[in-house]
Structure 1
Amino acid sequence: MARRRKGLDINGWLVLDKAVGPTSTDMVNRVRWLLKAKKAGHAGTLDPLASGILPIAFGEATKCIHLSMDAEKTYEFTVRWGVETTTDDAEGAPVETSAERPDEAAIRAAMPGYTGIISQRPPAFSAIKVDGERAYDLARDGEPPELAPREVEIFDLELTGMPDPDHAAFRMVCGKGTYVRSLARDLGRDLGCFGHVSALRRTAVGAFRLEGAISLADFESLCDKRAGHEALLPVETALDDIPALALTGEQANRLRNGQPVRVLNFTSPDDQILCVMHDRKPVALARYRAEMVEPVRVFNL
C-alpha cells in the first residue's frame, strides 16, 4: 500500500522572484516546507545563475504546470563576448576565446536570424533526457551529449544596451523550449567572437509578471507571521489565456465524474482546450469537440 504524502492541502500559485545561487528545486523544497504543503512543483527551471520569475504551483494548481511551461516567456540577459564556455554561461570553463569584439551594427545585422521559428541546439548542460539520463549529468561525467537541434520560436529580440566592448544586453520574448544560453553561443559564433551568458533574469511567464512576484526573504517573513497564504494566487491565475466556458451545476458535476457534456450555442474550434467554470471556480480543463466538452484534468476545489 502506497504511503500517504504528509502535509496540508494547499492550492494556488506562488510567484517567486528567485535570486542568483539556489536551484529551482531548492526553492520549491523551501517554500513547500514553509507552508507545510502536501504537493508542490515549479513551472519551468531557472538555472542557479539566473534570477527572476519562478512560478510554484501547490496542490490542484500543479495540474496547470504544463500550461505555464508552454506559455510565452520574457528574459533580460547579458552576453559576454570573447569567451565560449562548456555550459554556455559564466559557470563553465572556457573552450574557445577570441580578441574580436562586435560593434552595434554587426550585432543588429545578425539579430534578424534569431527571430521567428528557428533551429536551436540545446546546451549540453541542460535538463533534457538522453536514454533516461539528464544531459547535465552526462556532461558532468565527462560525456557531454550532442543534442539534436529543435525548432523554437522567438517572438521578439531587442538589443537594449552595450555597457562596454565586452558585453551586450538583450531582451527576448520566446516560446517553449528556447534556451538563452544557446542563443548567446550561436550569436557569438556567427559574429566571429564567441560568447556566453553572463547574467540572466526572467521577467514574465505567461500570466505571471515580475511586479507580482515576491522574494524568498519576504515570503519567509510572511510565513513567520503565519501569513504566507496571503502571497498565494488562485489556481485559475495560470488559465488567463485559455477560453473559459461557464456550465450549470449539473453539467459541472458530470465533468467532475469524468463524463462529457453537450453544450449548445457555443462556438469553438475542435480540440480547443477550455477552462470550465461553475460559480466562478474552475471545474476542469476540458477539450471541445463537435458540441461536446470532454474533461482532460478535473480540479478538486
Structure 2
Amino acid sequence: MSSSAPHPASPEARSEVVLGIIGGSGLYGMDELQEVQEVSLDTPFGAPSSPFIVGKLPRVSGSGASGGALRAVFVSRHDRGHVLTPGEINYRANIHGLKQLGVTHVLAVSAVGSLREGIAPGHVVVPDQLIDRTKHRESSFFGHGCVAHVQFGDPMDERFRARVVSAAAGVLEDEGTLGQLHERGTLVVMEGPAFSTRAESELYRRWGADIIGMTALPEAKLAREAELAYALLATSTDYDCWHLSEEEVTVEAVLAIMRANVARVRRIVLALADLLPSSCDQLPWPQALRGALSTDPSRIPAVTRERLELIVGHYLQD
C-alpha cells in the first residue's frame, strides 16, 4: 500500500456513513433497498450467515443528508429460511463482512422476550445495556498472538442509539402508539436455542434485566472491536415464562408477532436513514482500539497480522 493511500480501516478511508442492517427472526430482507446487488464474500473468520444485500435506502424527507440516498448493507443473521441457531451463527464473519463492505454503523434487529409487565408483546425497546449469559461462542477477533482489551461499559454507541430512538419515536408517534416505545433497557443474552426455565426468568428479573434474547452477544462485542457503531432495535414478542397468567413462549407466537411488526421495523429503518448524516464527522464511529492493544506489534505473528488487517491494521502501520 502506498504511503499516500489511507488504510481501509482508518478514519480517512471511512468518512461516509454506511448503514449495516442485521436482520433477525422474521426480518429476512429489506424490500426498501434500491439499486440492489447481492454480494457473497469470504472472510478470514469463515463464511457469513448469508449473502449481503448491498444497495441504497431512500431519504424519505431528504432531511438527513446532502448526498441523497444512504448506502446500506443487509445481512440475514439466521440465513434465509432461518436455518442457523443462535449458537451456530458466525458472528465474526458477519461483522467482518459488514466492515469489508464499508459499513460504519450497524443496526441489529432482534425478537426478544419481555421480563417486565410494562413491555407487552409488540412493544419496541432500544436497549442501552447487556448482560452476557452466552456460552461456547467466539466472542473476539483477537487471540493467536495478538491481545486487545476494548472498553465495553456502554455496549451500544450512544450517539447512534439516540438516532435509533428518535427514528422509532417518530414512527410510533405517527401510529399513535408512542407508549409502546421503551427508550432504554437491559437485555440479557442467553445461549439458547431452548427458552429459559421459570427460575432463570425470575433470576434475570431480579438482576434488573428488562428483556431477553439470544443474538446480541457476541455481536455487539465484535462490532466494538471492529470499530463499528452498534445499536439494537428489539421487538418484544412474549413474556418469556415468568408471567403465570400468560402462555409460555412458543416459536409460533414469536414469529406471529414479528410478522406483524416487520412493516413497523422497516418504517423505523427508513426513518433512521432520514436522520443519519452523510459524513462520519457528524456521527463518528468508535475508535475503540486506540490504546486497547496489549501486544508488542513486533511479536504479532504474520498470519495473525494478516487475519486482523481490516480490524487493527491501521494501528499497526509503520
Superposition TM-score tier, normalisation by shorter sequence: under 0.3
Give the alignment's TM-score, normalised by structure 2. 0.26
Q: TM-score scaled to structure 1, two decimals?
A: 0.27
**Of Structure 1 and Structure 2, which has the larger fraction of its residues in strand?**
1
Higher relative contact order (CA 8 A, sep 6+): 2
Greater radius of gyration (CA): 1
